[in-house]
Amino acid sequence: MTADLRPTTHWVYAHPQSGSLNRQLFEAGVEALTPRYDVQTSDLYAQGFDPLLAQRDVGGREGNIVDLMGEVQESGLVPDDVRLEQRKMEAAELLVFQFPLWWYGAPAILKGWFDRVFTNGFAYGGVDTETGLPLRYGEGGLKGKRALIIVTAGEDARSIGSRGVSGDIDALLFPITHGTLWYTGIESLDLHVVHDADALDAAAVASERDRLTTRLAGIHDEVPSRPYRALRDGEYRGTRALRADILPGRTDLDIHRIDRAGVANGTR
């Protein structure tokens, strides 16, 4: 396989320390993907990415921020640092987002990266001419891309499990996997979670490196075990709430997932 026929990965990395577990996983992961993918990276702290959405992002004007960002995108006046990230996104088939779990979410620098890079007119916007629905939740400017989230957590698997005191990790990251990625058409693969990240000894760190590189070796053919429902499929028709006849009585976030046979997955 020649280099120009290989798919591209964009790996977005958000950790400030060069000697961290995350750095070791990042370097090992990029190396593991390189034989099959052209890997582009965004080391947000190292490159000094500014996460603050500001007047420069809306052309210095006042008004509705979503509309103004769409106008800036259409006019080609997107700030250079944002446009560079968008070019990497455009080229990529596989996206990797790696970060530590801080206050039960991603670091602020990554949230700001989404705020500035996933703009109206680039990541979302428009209406499906067949259904009249907005191009969201399975549609959108980034449809067809897959994403792997690699997250390190200081807690054990029970604490951030389905009955854990800190909340289920899938639910904690729902704003990213569903509200950001799936909203723009990106399908998230199953989370890659490193538990007890603050307490791993050298042997455990090596084991986590091996676990990640083994998974990455087969990532090209991987599909999510519990994909999200698409807006255009009609299951939210009318109110944008899931139809009452689907999993009646349930209100947990898992109601928005299906299994590969199209049957609701009600187990954890």
At 259, the pLDDT band (50, 70, 90 cuts) reads low
The per-type count for the chain, helices as H runs and strands as E runs, is 7, 6
What average pLDDT does range 185-194 have in this prediction?
96
DSSP labels, 194-214: E-SGGG--HHHHHHHHHHHHH
Q: Which CATH number fits domain 3-225: 3.20.20.100, 2.120.10.30, 3.40.50.360, 3.30.460.80?
A: 3.40.50.360
Q: Give the domain ranges of the chain.
A: 3-225
Cα dihedral: 83, 87, 92, 97 (round 10): -20
pLDDT, tens only, 208-228: 999 999 999 999 999 988 899
Quick check: 261 pLDDT over 60? no
At 155, the pLDDT band (50, 70, 90 cuts) reads confident
At 5, the pLDDT band (50, 70, 90 cuts) reads confident
Question: How far apart (Å, rounded) are the C-alpha atoms in residues 98 and 224?
Answer: 18
Q: Over pLDDT 70: what percentage of the chain? A: 95
Question: How far apart (Å, rounded) are the C-alpha atoms in residues 94 and 6?
Answer: 12
Q: What is the DSSP letter of 229?
A: P
Q: 88 vs 132, which has greater pLDDT? A: 88
Q: Whats the size of the chain, residue-wise?
A: 268
**pTM of the predicted structure, to 2 decimals:** 0.92
CB-based contacts of 158, cutoff 8 Å, min separation 6: 164
At 64, the pLDDT band (50, 70, 90 cuts) reads very high
Predicted pLDDT of residue 229: 94
Whether 123 contacts 59, CB under 8 Å: no
Question: How far apart (Å, rounded) are the C-alpha atoms in residues 168 and 172?
Answer: 6
Predicted pLDDT of residue 266: 43
- Tell me the pairing of strands 94-100 and 146-152: parallel
